């Protein structure tokens, strides 16, 4: 069993673009909190039913966790171009289940440690086709994603948004 404190090394970051330095959520009037919950699945009457165990004391390899980030605007005014980013916790791998893109935010992923983001990260592979070796870009497997980010167009005064994704304990 792994204590969940080892996995909660993930830090949620909310920021707005600034010319020379990034501001944290506190500087923009945005409060950010992260919760890590265990997702238990069981079949009942032929249907899969999920139970959420909040803040589990320990987890086992193969367990699925929900990483949920809550973002609240406490500034009293609208916040524009907000980035909400969460690294995939060490000892886990991304499995999906992320809050999808909407008209107000775009879901993005990184597979290079948070250096670049896109809706579908790519990776370079070398393949041999018809006796010829070539390199090409292919979609990266989702279990190689290192970070999840939501680019929010605006956060209204006193508004709260929740974003989540799932990981599996290695």
Domains in the chain, CATH or no CATH each: 2-107+143-169 (2.60.40)
Distance from C-alpha of 159 to C-alpha of 80, rounded to nearest angstrom: 13
What pTM value is reported for the model? 0.81
Tokens standing for 10?
């993930």
End-to-end CA distance of the chain: 11
Tokens standing for 25?
């959520």
Per residue in 67-106, pLDDT (tens digit) is 999 999 999 999 999 999 999 999 999 999 999 999 999 9
Per residue in 8-23, pLDDT (tens digit) is 333 334 333 332 223 3
Between 61 and 8, name the one with better pLDDT.
61
- CA proximity to 86, closest of 140, 165, 31: 165
Residue 129 pLDDT: 85
Distance from C-alpha of 131 to C-alpha of 122, rounded to nearest angstrom: 24
């Amino acid at each position: 069993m792994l204590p969940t404190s080892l996995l909660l090394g993930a830090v949620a970051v909310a920021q707005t673009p600034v010319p020379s330095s990034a501001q944290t959520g506190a500087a923009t009037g945005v409060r950010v909190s992260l919760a890590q919950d265990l997702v238990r699945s069981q079949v009942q009457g032929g249907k899969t039913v999920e139970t959420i165990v909040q803040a589990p004391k320990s987890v086992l390899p193969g367990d699925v966790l929900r990483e949920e980030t809550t973002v609240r605007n406490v500034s009293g005014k609208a916040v524009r171009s907000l980035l909400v980013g969460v690294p995939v916790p060490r000892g886990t791998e991304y499995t999906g289940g992320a809050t999808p893109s909407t008209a107000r935010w775009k879901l993005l992923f990184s597979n290079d440690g948070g250096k670049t983001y896109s809706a579908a990260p790519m990776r370079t592979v070398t393949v041999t086709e018809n006796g010829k070796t070539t390199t090409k870009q292919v979609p990266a497997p989702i279990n190689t994603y290192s970070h999840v980010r939501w680019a929010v167009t605006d956060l209204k005064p006193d508004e709260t948004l929740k974003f989540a994704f799932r990981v599996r304990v290695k």
